[in-house]
Amino acid sequence: MERLLDKHWHHIEADEVAQFLDVDPGKGLDELEVEQRLKHFGENVITGKKGRTNLERFLLQFHQPLVYILIAAGLVTAYLGEWVDSLVILAVVLVNAVVGYIQEAKAVKALDSLSASMSTEAVVFRAGSSDRIPASGVVPGDVVLLRSGDKVPADLRILSGKELRIDESALTGESLPVDKEPGRLPPDAVLAERRCMAYAGTLVSYGQGRGVVVATGNHTEIGRISGLIEAADELETPLTRKITRFSHMLLIAILCLAAASFVLGLIRSEPVNEMFMAAVALAVGAIPEGLPAAVTIILALGVSRMAGRKAIIRKLPAVETLGGTTVICSDKTGTLTENQMTVQEIRCGGRAYTVSGDGYGYDGAISAADGGEAGGRALEECMRAGLLCNDARIYMKEGRPAVEGDPTEGALVVSARKYGLEREAESSAFARVDELPFESEWQYMATLHNHEGGRVVYLKGAVEKVLECCMDALSESGEGMELDVEAVVREQHELASRGLRVLAFARKDLDADGGLVRSDACMGMTFVGLQGMIDPPRKEAISAIAACQHAGVKVKMITGDHALTAEAIGLRLGLRGGDCQLGEDCPVLTGREIADLSDHDLVEKAPGIPVFARVSPEQKLRLVLALQKTGEVCAMTGDGVNDAPALKQADIGVAMGITGTEVAKEAADMVLTDDNFATIEAAVEEGRGVFANLVKFIAWTLPTNAGEGLVILTAILFGATLPILPVQILWINMTTAACLGMMLAFEPREPGIMDRPPRDPARPILDRTMLRRVGIVSVLLLVCAFGLFKWELLNGASIEKARTMAVNVFVVVEAFYLFNARSFTRSPFALGFMSNPWVVGGFALMMALQGAFTYAPFMNTLFSSAPVDVFDWGKIILCGLAVYGIVEFDKKRTQSDV
């Protein structure tokens, strides 16, 4: 029995499937057989692999090089007896670990959400009678009854159906409900085309049917997706990769310098205790204690800003990752399009009409393509047929129009209203007395109406089926004319080639009394016209895509819809592939074509393709992997269960907040509250601003640590007294990071940030220009601090005062350098000093604290500081101004652009 679960069930006749599964569809399984199969196959639930325990996940938060450095700093300061500083540093480590643990714990809920999606009930036919049971009790071979509103409990082979339609959008991405019928299909039929199958987790939107269970639990399509989610790598973001690399380099440099200084002192016969303290001072000075906290705060502020722009960030590093995104793979329905079918073209009475307005709102009008007046009997009857042969209703939901019923029928209600036909008035004048519901076998729907003492039949359906039922056509004036079938077919193909879904309409007057029978609809009808509809692109998505492409971010549309529809939408959106516009040079790639490509070929081909259609969950995952192998930083949007593996694998997964499933949201890094692609473009802009501020903070803070290290190293090399003590180093590092550096987190985005190309993922956090600038400021700090320290000693100052001068030099130079760091290319005067008032406020606060450090007696006792006079402050401020001027000169000379 186990091997049967791998069969191509859609390629086997329904009665043969029942034989394979040893079940009589007319009776179902008996209870004994059910019990045996339940023991063999297990419950119909998704089971995941055993994950890490809560304790393991928490302890792994400390497994980072920078955290090791901070722990070392905390232990060193504790060894030095500075318990307050030690506790502060270790508290920062603990807070970072708790935040990381909470974020990871949320992601673990993804598989739980998958299991919950199958926690429902099912109606099964067993031992000759139907019974409602928990879906977890369904076994292979069970006969399941499906009705409108049911959730499919397991993967089924359809045995029979009556007008059965199933919404599979969460699994396949297909935007419209799929008609289901029992006929077998070719073995290579892709998931979205398997009309004889029903899959676990999908919803029955119309009709009823019966199917036999062919797969349960992990063997279902949704179960395989669970496996894909588990198999997807837990990727580091570009930021965490760079911070890790930077931390490794910093750790090695600090240890090497501290060890070298200690050994050098021993070689020179310096006292062991003094050299040990000097090595400790060097290590403490080089450790950027404020960096992890600053990264967290800057990212958190980015989260707050993005929330204001309708993007909810679930994982902090995703803020920065957005700024480095090089390609966005977007779902079509609802994200790039309105998710509201709209009639846009009408053909009737020998004339062509266009319909303005998008979605289910009534704004818009019908106009003739030839410039004449839109009207005539044929147009009126075409609109009336679409309105009356229709079961949909337009209503207001949360302040916007929505459809109750089939989206296609909703579009017809709206087009009729734009012509001027009111639903209530028409239904009163043409009272419906009977109907022939849509059936996949006949491909049309017909309704019978009483009107002015007579009766009229309206017909709506597939073009080829409606034409078979028609003997003539309605002219513009309302008279009968010869039906030109070839002309109608040409018009249909012309509309379909532009991605429109085309429906045909017909009418017939009846004389006889009685109900509506199939012969009334399938012969003698009068053709009245065609209506072509499409889910139109969002206007804001068009401009957002243009902005992304201008910024060097490639946009690719990945959808479960047909290739023609996908291409039509892609053309309207202005999608590009590589250096070419969507079209002949940049064709649409289908899921079937992707299946024929090797992984190597897909890596070669994927970057140049702007639109992918009829794509399966595995193929979405393959596409993301292929793009990542080319070095792209990939953002992936999605809303369905089928999107979850790709969302997790992508550098940043973006889920839809309105239409998204819980599985998609839990697997994603970011959730859009408005399901709008334009929000992604806004988030990319915010992400670039966040990363720019991170780089500014790092470029600002490194000179302090490097300068402190150089001062200590120079003192060791020359056998001089330490100009600054370890406790003073901690004061400098902690206060300047909090009062000065953190103010860069509030720096507004610089103009033209979306005119720049994306950052190269391989590019380091600081490029050569920035490293050179860090080196310049570090050397200037060394010269100023060490120079003033020696100057004061030579002029008879106490060691406490000389060290206070050195500490104040570090603080004042960093304060002036803060204004330089606000932009790598523009001066503070060009930016406006008050464009970021936090910087000015932080400057004032820092000076107040430094005044307390210098003059407060208890601070003099704690930090071995001493008061200085006004003339001394003049020398210190002169050092700050000199560094500020040199950096501004270097900025203008290089005109670097980060």
Catalytic, out of 85, 142, 179, 331: 331
- Output the average pLDDT for the chain: 82
**Phi/psi at 541 (5° precision):** -70, -35
> CA angle 390-393-397, nearest 5°?
160
The contacts of residue 657 (CB under 8 Å, 6+ apart) are: 312, 665, 671, 672, 673, 674, 675
Q: What is the DSSP letter of 744?
A: G
Active site residue 370: no
Q: How far apart are CA 483 and CA 349, in angstroms?
A: 10
448 three-state secondary structure: strand
Give the tokens for residue 117. Answer: 């999606």
**Radius of gyration in angstroms for the set of CA atoms belonging to the chain, rounded to a whole number:** 35
Contact by Cβ (8 Å): 605, 582: no
Report pLDDT for 741. Answer: 86
What pLDDT is attached to residue 804? 94
- Whole-structure pTM over 0.85, yes or no? no
Question: 300 burial class (0-12, 13-18, 19+ CB within 10 angstroms)?
Answer: middle
Say how far apart CA 659 and CA 679 lie, in whole Å: 15
As a 3-state breakdown, the chain gives helix, strand, coil percent values, each rounded to 5, of 50, 20, 30
240 Cβ neighbours under 8 A, 6+ residues apart:
317
**pLDDT tens digit string along 117-170?**
444 788 999 988 888 898 889 999 999 999 877 889 999 999 998 878 888 876
Decide if 809 contacts 840 (C-beta within 8 A).
Answer: no
For the chain (898 residues), the mean pLDDT of every run of 10, in chain order, is 60 90 91 92 75 73 67 69 64 66 52 46 88 90 88 92 80 74 87 88 84 90 70 52 68 75 74 66 64 69 76 71 84 80 93 90 90 90 95 84 85 95 93 85 88 90 92 92 94 88 93 79 92 89 88 88 83 79 76 90 90 83 91 84 78 80 73 82 83 86 83 80 80 83 86 80 75 90 93 91 94 93 85 86 94 93 89 94 92 64
Q: Are 70 and 88 in contact (CB under 8 A)?
A: no
- The Cα 456–Cα 507 span in angstroms is 7
Q: Are 814 and 736 in contact (CB under 8 A)?
A: yes
> What does 408-432 look like in DSSP terms, one character per residue?
HHHHHHHHHHHHT--HHHHHHHSEE
